[in-house]
Chains A and B, each alone.
Chain A
Amino acid sequence: MYEMGVFWLRVATALYGVGLLHVMALLLRRKSGFLKYALFAFLVAAVLHFVAIVELATAVGHLPVDNFFECATVCAFLIAVLFLFVYWRYDFAGLSVCIFPLVFVLTQIGAMETPMLTWPSTNVRNAWLLLHVMLVLLGYAALLLTATASVFYLIQERQLKSKKSIHLFKRLPPLGTLDNLISNSMAFGFVFITLGLVAGSAWAFIESGTNWIRDPRIALSFITWGFYLAMVFLRASAGWRGRKAALMAVAVLCCSALTWAAHVGLRSMLTK
């Protein structure tokens, strides 16, 4: 019964993944391609998620909220249900930019409670870790670009508001160009960091079983990702620009720098 619960939870995670892909496509292409399919997948995933929780509850004899993984599972389910309600009642699809990735990641964490398999070979293990590092670094590069462009946006905005000679503005690109750059680099950064996060947590899960969640470095990565998600959501829904957007981008960048610093000793993992 317990294994079946875990199985359904993993199927639900995969279906929530469709929602994540939708958000990524939306951010990169700036138009919704398959929202209704993503919503349908999300709905099916929520049902399976419910089945999984029921089966897990039956197996342990009470609501499975005994550890972090189980809490994450239940929490993700509640968020999913709440979102579906809000969508049904208020037709607020914009919220999906935040909810789809969040529910996916939380369910993924929940689905990683039981060790599943071991590395087929050291090469696969090392290549996977490198892939994770590369994705995250690409994400950081895009984030750095986002933060820099946001600061330039702020400076240019101040100059335009101060109404001096046009001559002074020429040194920076126009606001519209900077805005496009910010949107694009933020979208790419989000895609890379999310994929990096999924790859990294999966690696850690296979590597150290259930212990990975207690690693503060991983917790820090999730917090950074959470900030990034908030930034993407605020920009996509409320159109944050200028001062607020610049401060947010710089804050996420600092957070990422901390996460990076925490992962400095990663090389030793490869040689283990």
Chain B
Amino acid sequence: MRFSITGVNHKTAPVEVRERLAFDDRSLLEALIELKRRPGFCEGIILSTCNRVEVALTCEDGPGAGVAVDQFLADTRQVECDWVTPYLYRYEDGEAIRHLFRVAASLDSMVVGEPQILGQLKSAYALAKEHGAVNGFLDVLLTKAFNVAKRVRSETEIGVNAVSVGYAAVELAREIFGSLDDKKVMIVGAGKMSESAARHLKRCGATQIFVTNRTHERAAEMAELFSAKIIDYPVFTAFLPEVDIVIASSGAPHYILTKEDMKKVIGSRRNRPMFLIDIAVPRNIEPDANNLDNVFLYDIDDLQKVVETNREGRMQSAEEAEAIIGEEVARMLARLKEREVVPTIVSLQEQLESVRLAELARMRGKFGTLTAEQEQALEALTKSIINKIAHGPISELRRQASQPEGQHFVTTIRRVFKLGE
């Protein structure tokens, strides 16, 4: 049996190809049913996200398995096989296991360490299992992949820090306020960046959002997006003492909030902390405001710097994660090798048991009827003898299973104990 992963991702295929190959819910289901039907395929799972489409398969040994997968993908997505083949990559056996673990641990993602991929893989697994496309080897392997991903998350800091400006703002707000529940946000100047930051903040619990903009129409548009309250631009500073987080991104060519303004605001708030996010260029808030106690002012460069440092941190964590994955792949391969010697171990035990039973029968003919106690003693004695004989070869078989020369040893044992083919 061979295990392989075939697919495309953001590194090997442009978006035009990926979107052509991507499965929606319905076509994914049909593809899984088709996969089960195809001759030569044993088990399979299909992972389809915006950055990757992959088919993980176990199939019977033999030539042409790879081509069959390419054909399967082309058929189910109704594209020419020749068109898709140049974009496909294929990993087999050990390499495929490594790839699966890397994908689950988000090392192969566009944003390394992003957490969604694990959820997507779990959904793909659940769907395949529900429809009987996974049963046995892939079951074990995927469960292991989820454990490996969990281990990578807990032992490295790969997913700890934010790597987008909007999310960095949320993380900073959390460091200031703890929970964002019941926090009030004011957006000054309705732009794309402020919209993204506000969306993140709202998703993380910020209850009320105020919007103020020079042009009322744009403010109204954004207010509708967040069910926000519109504040008249000329009087927005009067509302600041109520607000915990300010996102400034207006096009004003000068500071719209000075240190003096903020001093008054923070006084009215009785020094409760305030987080100011100034993503406007030129800046909207006088940088010296950051020197006021309990005012935390971050401009776009500060946020970028945080993101950059976090990204470097992730790369370091990725190296640690690769080491963990290397270790887990080796362990998995050893486990698989061990499974290969199981038939030999079973035959050995059966062979010894048959010898034991034959000898017991022969002996009974010589000694006539035995008492129950004598029977019991004989059973125990003979079982103990064959167990002791089997112990050495079985341990050694297990040990040798993962060694490169292990197969020779297996053959020798089969020959010595006359285990047949």
> What residues make up the interface of A, taking CB atoms closer than 8 Å to B?
156-157, 160-161, 163-167, 169-170, 173-177, 179-180, 237-244
Contacts and interface: CB of A to CB of B under 8 A. Distances in A.
A166 B176 contact: no
Contacts of B172: 160, 166
Contact of B271 (A160, A173, A177, A238): A238
Contacts of B313: 165, 167
Interface string B283-309: 000000010011010100010011001
B306 A163 contact: yes
Contacts of B168: 166
Interface in B249-305: 269-273, 290, 293-294, 296, 298, 302, 305
Contacts of A160: 172, 175-176, 296
B162 interface: yes
A160 B313 CA distance: 18
B294 A241 contact: yes
A163 B175 contact: no
B160 A238 contact: no
B294 A176 contact: no
A241 B290 CA distance: 15
B177 interface: yes
B77 to A, nearest CB: 41
Main secondary structure, interface of A, reads: helix
Contacts of A156: 175
B131 interface: no
Nearest to A180: B178
B157 interface: yes
Nearest first, the 6 closest Cβ-Cβ pairs linking A and B are: A239-B270, A176-B178, A239-B271, A165-B309, A174-B178, A176-B177
Given A166-B161, A167-B310, A176-B177, A161 B290 contact: yes
B179 interface: yes
Q: Which of A165, A170, A239, A244 has the most CB of B within 10 A?
A: A165
B269 A242 contact: no
B171 interface: yes
A239 B160 contact: no
Contacts of B179: 176
Interface in B223-272: 269-272
Contacts of A240: 271
Contact of B161 (A157, A165, A174): A165
A160 B174 CA distance: 11
Contacts of A239: 269-272
11 contacts: A160-B176, A163-B298, A166-B172, A166-B306, A170-B160, A174-B177, A237-B270, A238-B271, A241-B271, A241-B293, A242-B293
A174 B296 CA distance: 13
